[in-house]
Amino acid sequence: MLKKLTFGQYAHKDSIMHKLDPRIKIFAVVLLSTMAFLLETYYKFAIFSLFVLVLIIISQINFSSLIRNLRPFFFIFAFILLMYIFFSRNQLDQGIRTIWKFVLFIIIASILTFTTTITSMVTAIEKLTAPLKLIKFNPRTIALLIALTIRFVPALFLYADRIKDARLARLWSLKNPKHIKLLFLPLLDRIFKSASTLSDAMVSRGYTEKRISYFNIIRLKYYDYISFTVLLAFIFLILLIQK
Amino acid sequence: MIKIKNLDFRYEDELILKNMNLKLKDGCYTAIIGANGSGKTTLAKHLNALLMPTKGSVIVDDIDTKKDQFNARKKVGFVFQNPEDQLVYSIVEEDIAFGLENLGMKTKEMKTKVNEMIKELNIEYLAKKNVNMLSAGQKQLTALAGILVMNPKYIVFDEPTTLLDNKNKANIMKIIKKLNKTSKIGIILVTNLLNDIKYADNVVVMSDGKIIFNDKKYKLNNKILKKAGLDA
Digitized pLDDT (tens) for each residue of chain B, 232 residues in all: 999 999 999 988 889 999 999 999 999 999 999 998 899 999 999 999 999 999 999 999 989 999 999 899 999 999 998 888 888 888 899 999 999 998 999 999 999 999 999 998 889 999 988 888 888 889 999 999 999 999 999 999 999 888 788 888 888 899 999 999 988 999 999 998 888 888 899 999 999 999 999 999 888 888 888 888 887 5
Which chain B residues contact residue A9 at CB under 8 A? 90, 130, 132-133
For residue A132, the model assigns a pLDDT of: 83
Q: What is the pLDDT of residue A1?
A: 45
Q: Tell me the C-alpha distance between A130 and A126, whole Å.
A: 6
For A192-213, the pLDDT digits (tens) are: 888 888 999 999 998 887 777 8
pLDDT above 90 (res A173): no
| Across A62-77, average pLDDT | 83
SS3 A160: helix
Q: Which CATH number fits domain B2-227: 3.40.50.720, 3.40.47.10, 3.30.70.1140, 3.40.50.300?
A: 3.40.50.300
Torsion sign (Cα): B27, B28, B34, B37: negative
Using CB atoms within 10 A of its CB, is residue B111 exposed (0-12), middle (13-18) or buried (19+)? middle
**CA angle (A99 as vertex; A97, A102 as ends), nearest 5:** 110
Contacts of A217 in chain B (CB under 8 A): 107
Scan residues 8-47 of A and list those with Cβ closer than 8 Å to B: 8-12
- State the Cα–Cα distance between residues A146 and A125, nearest whole angstrom: 9
Cβ–Cβ below 8 Å for A205 and B104: no
What angle, rounded to 10 degrees, do the helices at A22-38 and A42-59 form?
Answer: 160
Of the candidates B50, B97, B131, which has its C-beta nearest A215's C-beta?
B97
Complex confidence, ipTM: 0.84
Its sign, for the CA torsion B56, B58, B62, B66, is negative
**pLDDT band per the 50, 70, 90 thresholds, residue A242:** low
In sequence order, what are the beta bridge partners of B189? Answer: B31, B157
Quote the CA–CA distance of B139 and A175 in Å, as a whole number.
36
**Any A CB within 8 A of B152 CB:** no
Asked if residues A198 and B83 have their Cβ atoms less than 8 Å apart, the reply is no
Closest residue in A to B46 (Cα) is A204
Contact B91 A213 (CB under 8 A): no
Neighbours of B22 (CB within 10 A): 18
For residues B194, B199, B205, B206, the Cα torsion angle rounded to the nearest 10 degrees is -80
Give the start-to-end residue ranges of the domains of chain B. 2-227
Residue A182: CB atoms within 10 A of its CB come to 16
Rounded to whole angstroms, how far apart are CA atoms A229 and A43? 23
> Closest by alpha carbon to B49, among B60, B40, B38, B37?
B60
What's residue A155's pLDDT?
78
**What whole-number distance in Å separates Cα of residue A13 and Cα of residue A17?**
9
Whole-number Å distance between alpha carbons of B100 and A66: 34
Listed range (A124-133, A218-227, B99-108) with the worst mean pLDDT? A124-133
Cβ(A102)–Cβ(A73) below 8 Å: yes
